Amino acid sequence: MSTPQPSDLIPLILSIWSTTTLLPPSIPPPPTFTPALLSALHSLALLTPAQPHRAWNLLSTYFHMRVRERRYTPETSTLDEADISKAVHSVQRMSVGMALEDSARRKSSSSSSSTIHDHMHMHTHSPEDDDDDAFPPLPPGLDIPTPATPPPIRVPCIDALREEMRAATQETNLRRREMEMMEEEVRGARARYEVAKGVAERLRSEVRRRGGMRVNT
């Protein structure tokens, strides 16, 4: 299979995601989509077919995380290839974790089915099928119970869960910081309004005073 050319990647990504835009409004696009950037987006799209919002949520998380960590550095706040790479690795870790869980579930289900089949075969076995030299069946009181089948064992991918929890925590902290900045702006706007209101009151008083002086003269 030939490698897609950079000029073909944008329509290909849009087709895989079934969308009309590469990025949501919350993520500032770079000045130019370089071949490396498009290739990284294509890799992410292949891991999240028809799930653009899932990919965008991860991109938004890592983009805002990077901007917050480098808030005081002179850099342009646009999507970076590192943001996409982190999103790709996150999806890959989640896929590995889901595969491990599915594999453990299938093994447990197969073991349970085999045990049930053997148990049913043991109880449907006819005494006429026994050889003449076979031991007679045990009395009912001495039947050995069949061991209970253990419940399925779930094997979560701890690294993937830890990474997602860390990203969610950082995103929450980022949103909290944005709310605090908005509250500071509101308080500043209110203070400016009070100052302007005081200036307007003084101007009105001055106008009334001068008007009174003109009438008296």
Reply yes or no on whether the pLDDT at 140 is more than 70.
no
Q: DSSP state, 79?
A: -
Is the model more confident about 41 or about 113? Answer: 41
Structure tokens at 1: 């299979």
Range of the domain at 50: 6-116+150-161
Structure tokens at 102: 């599915």
Is the model more confident about 86 or about 136? Answer: 86
Structure tokens at 138: 């045990």
User: How far apart are alpha carbons 111 and 134 in whole angstroms?
Assistant: 29
Contact 84, 44 (CB under 8 A): yes
Confidence of residue 191 (pLDDT cuts 50, 70, 90): confident
Tell me whether residue 154 is in a domain: yes
User: How far apart are alpha carbons 104 and 100 in whole angstroms?
Assistant: 6
Tell me whether residue 72 is in a domain: yes
> Average pLDDT of 32-41?
92
Q: What is the pLDDT of residues 98-112, one digit of tens each?
A: 666 766 677 766 666
- Count of domains forming the chain: 1
Tell me whether residue 188 is in a domain: no
Of 58-62, 164-168, 207-211, highest mean pLDDT: 58-62
Q: 183 to each of 41, 42, 70, 94, 171, how far by Cα in Å?
A: 35, 39, 22, 36, 18
Tell me whether residue 143 is in a domain: no
Tell me whether residue 139 is in a domain: no
DSSP states of 87-155: HHHHHHHHHHHHHHHHHHHHHHHHHHHHHHHHHHHHHT--GGGS-TTSPPPPPGGGPPPPPPPPPPPP-
Tell me the pTM.
Answer: 0.48
Reply yes or no on whether the pLDDT at 7 is more than 80.
no
Structure tokens at 137: 């069946």
Of 4-18, 90-104, 160-174, highest mean pLDDT: 4-18
Tell me whether residue 137 is in a domain: no
Tell me whether residue 73 is in a domain: yes
Amino acid at 61: T
User: How far apart are alpha carbons 105 and 155 in whole angstroms?
Assistant: 9
Q: What is the pLDDT of residues 21-31, one digit of tens each?
A: 999 888 888 88
Q: What is the pLDDT of residues 141-174, one digit of tens each?
A: 555 556 556 555 555 556 656 767 777 776 677 6
Tell me whether residue 180 is in a domain: no
